Amino acid sequence: MNDHLDTVIDIDFLSRLQGMLYGLHFSGKQLGPHLATIAIRPSERLSGVLKFRKSLQVNPELAVDLHEGFRTVREYFSLPSTTKRLIYEPKIESLLLSYVFGAKTRGHTAGQADTSSDANEQACGRCSAQKYKLAHETCSQTYRGTELLNGGICNNCLFAGGTQLCSFRRKYLNNLQTSVSLVSRFQLMVLS
């Protein structure tokens, strides 16, 4: 990363980053479980990719929507030019997952919104509040196929370390508890 400190983060850079993670992972380097999940070989032929894997590949048609102060590698990862600090997994994960095929943006009002965007859906509480300094202009969650990743936490909250504060996480957990409760009640009815 030190060679790219002043690199502006764009889709090409994200594809190369994902390719680098893929190379590291399959050369035997130990990546954490979250980075290993997104260590997928970028593909030129997107139609030939399995659907669940394609959902985690960087989408070359998306535009990067980083706020001012987060647009270069140095800014996004808060790295001084003489750093030896390790880059935190959640920041890499947040950056890549915001621009994959499985990303669904909420409250997106840009003129060229991707097909998974929904300007009518409310962003999470932190992204809706004006008082937080967020890396991404849009609030997004990521799906692997139909599975919602990171317990529903949006990618901005993942970046900021506010995983316990993301209102999508609470909503996801409430839905999960309701589903478990309904299954338990159904099992009790069957056993009775």
Residue 3 is given by DSSP the state G
Considering only 7-11, 68-72, 102-106, which range has the smallest mean pLDDT?
A: 102-106
Is residue 110's pLDDT more than 50?
Answer: no
**Mean pLDDT score, 15-31:** 90
| Listed range (11-15, 47-51, 174-178) with the worst mean pLDDT | 47-51
d(CA 87, CA 100): 20
Domain ranges (residues) in the chain: 2-191
Query: What are the CA-CA distances from residue 58 to residues 28, 176, 181 (Å)?
Result: 23, 28, 36
Residues 6+ away with beta carbon under 8 Å from 132:
126, 160
- What are the residues whose beta carbons fall under 8 Å from the beta carbon of 151, sequence distance 6 or more? 163, 169, 172, 173
Q: Which pLDDT tens digit goes with each residue over 140-150? A: 888 887 788 88
- Give the single-character DSSP code of 85: P
pLDDT at 131 over 90: no
The more confident residue out of 115 and 17 is 17
